[in-house]
Chains A and B, each alone.
Chain A
Amino acid sequence: MSQPVAAISIQGLTKDFSVTLRGVKLRAVDALNLEVAEGQVYGLLGPNGSGKSTTIKIILGLLDATVGDVRVFGVPANRVEARRNVGYLPEAPYFYRYLSGRELVKFYARVCGVSGSRLRTRVDEVIDWVGLSGAADRRVGTYSKGMLQRIGLAQALVHDPKLIVLDEPTAGVDPVGSAEMCELILKLKQQGKTVLITSHLLAQIEDVCDRVAILDRGKLIVEGSVLELVGQRDRQALIVDPLPEADLEALRGWLAARGHSLNAVEQPRARLDQLFLSKVSRPGRPGGASAGVGSNEVPLDAKP
């Protein structure tokens, strides 16, 4: 029985750029090995200049590898055929300002070979899916950054690709727009799509990714599932109602008698972005100023 083909397979990828006329090279990616299985949400993290965008461009066939083998669903990434199953949302996307959102998505759909009756239904479907039905006939030049990200996601999805590459999808977007983008990514995961994301906003990556890889100066530093990498398996957190000091002492004694210790007593905190989202009104959602920190609308972080 043949093994399932990885959505993205990168073997020994090195990319050098000539930075002077004398041929001095800058190594952007250094001997990178990476495999993204189908159906995963995979985060590619790293500081500026770590090689994330270069890696993405090589996956998309926009750059050629200096050394190494990059495949998308088994097809060499530099072949046009590899891009059939790929949707791409670039960082801070800029689209043809003179087209309406619907015209823009239709244009990209036709470039991807979507035609006939499917063209219209598919365009309407993805515009509705990203929540832009009300603004679809407005010119893209009038869109906010969040709306540009969403129309960008619509154009990336219009040909129903199996792999979606999102380069900094929440960069420059307010927390509401970021949260909506994360929700859309989770929906894509539910649909069985493979998603490759780069981001600086690590908290968001942590929320949506199954696995992450951290790059630094072109090299892979860490790779693994989010749980493996950030979970503390030798510790547990219990969240209880506030205890009086006497009860705490009794609990310490009870734990000590069993060979355990109470390492920290802290008040759990909501994350600031969660607080923000509960306070700010979001289109089509209840909430806003009436929701308080103590209300149930602010999920508490499990970590003390």
Chain B
Amino acid sequence: MSVASVPFSFSRLSLIAGNTFLEAVRQKLFNFLLLLAVGLVASAQFFREFNFGSSELKFISDFGFGALIFFGSALTIATTAQLFFSEIENRTALTLLAKPLWRAEFVFGKFLGVFAVIGVFCALTIGLMMALLWHREGQLMNIRPEDFANGRLIAYGDLLVVGVLQWLKFGVLAAIVLLIASFSNTNLFTVVTGFFVLVICHLQYLARDAWGNVDNAVLGLVVRALGFIFPNFQLFNLADQIGQGSGLSPVVALQVAGYAVAYIGVIGGLAVYSFRNREI
């Protein structure tokens, strides 16, 4: 019997994403981590006596990015797992997937909802950090005008680009957590495994440097394969390049962004494939 097909719909995708976003911002966890990160960034100016030899402005920037990366990673893993499993455990997924809705729309909708939540988190944290830097830099320009003979020192555009790249990195992490959640039975397993994968992704370059060029061909191949399977999160740490030489290279930034988008696409596709076979 021939029936009209149900095409993949971006409208349904955005509905799921919007609902996921709404659910996330109403959760205490999101608001708690956001307040904590914003509070930490705001408090950076009170710690400027502890700048460990680097310039005060650099310290504020490092402190801000540290808060963004730490709380952003925690928020990404916890929120992605929570929002996925709340649908499964509360059985709202049953009602939703009994509608003419593709599972791919459900998974990508969840991803986009989480990605939007992390976007808000990153925007608020980076925005506050830039405002603080702008304010303090203005004060220093009055105190030591000789240091600012050529105008402001901080490349705010570059800071914004690094912030966007961090957001994309969290997107890769969210896709990984969704992939784990698509076959996992519990929220706890997903969160713990997500944190392990986060650590691997941050440290895999060490293994590649140490073992990638060993004489043992098999071991070298395994290490290279693992380096390919787990995205290298060190690539996203470009904050140190800000203010050095000609600043952040647009080409490098675009390459890193492309790297993130490619991983999001592939891992998201695997999550859809895994979730298609999941029995709800």
Contact = CB atoms under 8 A, between A and B. Distances in A.
Contacts of A79: 3
Given A62-B279, A98-B23, A110-B11, A80 B102 contact: yes
Interface residues of A, number: 33
Contact of A111 (B5, B91, B96): B96
Given A80-B100, A113-B100, A74 B1 contact: yes
A93 interface: yes
Nearest to B11: A110
Given A108-B95, A111-B96, A80 B15 contact: no
B251 interface: no
Interface string B5-17: 1100101100110
A255 to B, nearest CB: 56
B92 interface: yes
B218 interface: no
Contacts of B3: 74-75, 79, 81, 84
B42 interface: no
Contacts of A155: 95
Interface in A238-296: none
B101 A57 contact: no
A90 interface: yes
Contact of A83 (B11, B90, B98): B98
B101 A96 contact: no
Contacts of A111: 12, 15-16, 96, 99-101
Contacts of B99: 83, 108, 111-112, 159
Contacts of B149: none
Contact of B15 (A57, A93, A110): A110
Given A74-B1, A96-B19, A107-B15, A62 B94 contact: yes
A227 interface: no
A81 B15 contact: no
B135 interface: no
A96 B92 contact: yes
**Which 4 pairs across A and B sit closest by C-beta, in order of nearness?**
A88-B98, A74-B1, A60-B98, A94-B90
Given A90-B98, A93-B91, A110-B12, 10 more contacts: A63-B279, A84-B100, A88-B94, A88-B98, A95-B95, A98-B23, A111-B101, A113-B100, A152-B95, A155-B95
Interface of A: 5, 17, 57, 60-64, 74-75, 79-81, 83-84, 86, 88, 90, 93-96, 98, 107-108, 110-113, 152, 155, 159, 165
Interface of B: 1, 3-6, 9, 11-12, 15-16, 19, 22-23, 26, 90-92, 94-102, 279-280
22 contacts: A57-B280, A60-B98, A81-B3, A81-B4, A81-B100, A83-B99, A84-B3, A84-B6, A84-B100, A88-B94, A88-B95, A88-B98, A90-B94, A93-B95, A96-B23, A98-B26, A108-B95, A111-B99, A112-B99, A112-B100, A113-B9, A152-B95
